[in-house]
């Protein structure tokens, strides 16, 4: 049996027509833990974290959680959030080694997205496409990292508070935001870490800057996937603008899950695109 397994930072709940599962990260304060699975209520979770003034943190899936998801499969593809910001890739690799030790006939390929959310989605969709085209494990695993390297990720955030509090971005970068109406536009570096691009005053300016960044990287109309944190209006405006600029493109937007929602924060948007 073939399984495609991603951590919950991919923001997908299901993937009909293929053996797809997600393994949750968790989000905690000293008094409560949220499991980022299908039953999570994003709105309630965000309300809780905004009303909570103590420390909050997140944790990657355990090796055992990955092993439980692998069970029953002899061909596994795992897609994880960037190893530059999370231990998730590492725990998946430990699980892969253990699984192969116990099931010597099994094949497991772990892909470090060097990205998150929509970047993971694009990789998952590519694996599905290759498998549906009848490609073998060896064929898929030999091309998938090359595909990953052609992806780009941008994000527009209203606040970097949770990223800074958890040491994922420097306090200096974070202090630049938080001012009314300022959005920070950032990108994933080649190493899968956060790289600030620009500060934008208001969403109109943010959208214009996103378009100019897409031009700068030589975007030619590849696939685009978006996740937003309760900001349908911004995602719709970005979709409209990108279609206007680049013509007929395959572009889809979804609501974020818990992990990306916590870090990108309310109003935030994350955009992944193919860029050859």
Q: Considering beta carbons, is residue 11 or 75 the nearer one to ligand X90?
A: 11
The vertex-102 CA angle with 100 and 107, nearest 5°, equals 25
Classify 41 as helix, strand or coil: coil
The reply on whether position 86 binds ligand X90 by CB under 6 A is: yes
Cα–Cα separations (whole angstroms), residue 207 to 33, 121, 204, 260, 264: 35, 22, 5, 20, 17
* Partners of 187 in beta bridges: 154, 195
The reply on whether position 109 binds ligand X90 by CB under 6 A is: no
Cβ neighbour number for residue 252 with a 10 Å cutoff: 14
Tell which one of 93, 185, 194, 271 touches ligand X90 (CB under 6 A): 194
Tell which one of 5, 23, 60, 121 touches ligand X90 (CB under 6 A): 60
Rounded least distance, CB 185 to ligand X90, Å: 11
Tell which one of 168, 205, 241, 252 touches ligand X90 (CB under 6 A): 168
Tell which one of 270, 272, 273, 274 touches ligand X90 (CB under 6 A): 270
Rounded least distance, CB 132 to ligand X90, Å: 28
10, 120 Cβ separation under 8 angstroms = yes
Q: Considering beta carbons, is residue 75 or 120 the nearer one to ligand X90?
A: 120
Tell which one of 85, 130, 140, 224 touches ligand X90 (CB under 6 A): 85
The reply on whether position 264 binds ligand X90 by CB under 6 A is: yes
Nearest to 32 by CA among 258, 266, 264, 275: 258
User: Would you give the binding string for ligand X90 spanning residues 237-256, x where CB under 6 A is met?
Assistant: --------------------
Q: Which stretch binds ligand X90 (CB under 6 A): 31-39, 57-65, 121-129, 213-221?
A: 57-65
Classify 7 as helix, strand or coil: strand
Residue for token pair 């190493």: 191
37, 10 Cβ separation under 8 angstroms = no
Tell which one of 77, 89, 155, 246 touches ligand X90 (CB under 6 A): 155
The reply on whether position 185 binds ligand X90 by CB under 6 A is: no
Q: Which stretch binds ligand X90 (CB under 6 A): 46-54, 62-70, 234-242, 263-271?
A: 263-271
The reply on whether position 169 binds ligand X90 by CB under 6 A is: no
270, 115 Cβ separation under 8 angstroms = no
Nearest to 140 by CA among 223, 225, 252, 18: 18
- Please name the helix (run of DSSP H) or strand (run of DSSP E) that holds residue 70, with its range, or none: helix 63-70
Note the residues at the interface with ligand X90 (CB under 6 A).
25, 58-60, 82, 85-88, 115-116, 153, 155, 168, 188, 192, 194, 260, 263-264, 270
């Amino acid at each position: 049996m073939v399984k495609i397994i991603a951590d919950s930072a991919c923001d997908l709940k299901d993937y009909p027509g293929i053996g797809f599962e997600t393994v949750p990260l968790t989000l905690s304060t000293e008094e409560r833990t949220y499991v980022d699975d299908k039953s999570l209520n994003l709105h309630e979770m965000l309300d809780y974290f905004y009303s909570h003034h103590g420390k909050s943190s997140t944790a990657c899936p355990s090796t055992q959680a990955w092993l439980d998801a692998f069970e029953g499969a002899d061909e596994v593809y795992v897609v994880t959030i960037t190893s530059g910001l999370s231990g998730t890739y590492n725990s998946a690799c430990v699980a892969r080694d253990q699984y192969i030790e116990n099931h010597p006939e099994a094949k497991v390929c772990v892909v470090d997205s060097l990205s998150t959310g929509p970047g993971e989605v694009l990789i998952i969709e590519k694996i599905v496409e290759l498998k549906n085209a009848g490609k073998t494990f060896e064929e898929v695993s030999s091309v998938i990292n090359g595909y990953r390297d052609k992806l780009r990720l941008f994000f527009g955030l209203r606040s970097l508070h949770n990223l800074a509090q958890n040491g994922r971005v420097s306090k200096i970068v974070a202090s630049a935001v938080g001012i009314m109406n300022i959005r920070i536009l950032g990108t994933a570096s080649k190493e899968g870490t956060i790289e600030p691009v620009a500060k934008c005053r208001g969403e109109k300016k943010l959208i214009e800057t996103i378009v100019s960044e897409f031009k700068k990287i030589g975007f030619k109309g590849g696939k685009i996937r978006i996740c937003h944190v309760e900001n349908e209006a911004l995602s719709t405006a970005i979709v409209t603008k990108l279609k206007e600029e680049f013509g007929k493109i395959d572009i889809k937007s979804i609501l974020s899950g818990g992990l990306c929602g916590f870090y990108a924060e309310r109003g935030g948007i994350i955009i992944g695109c193919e860029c050859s």
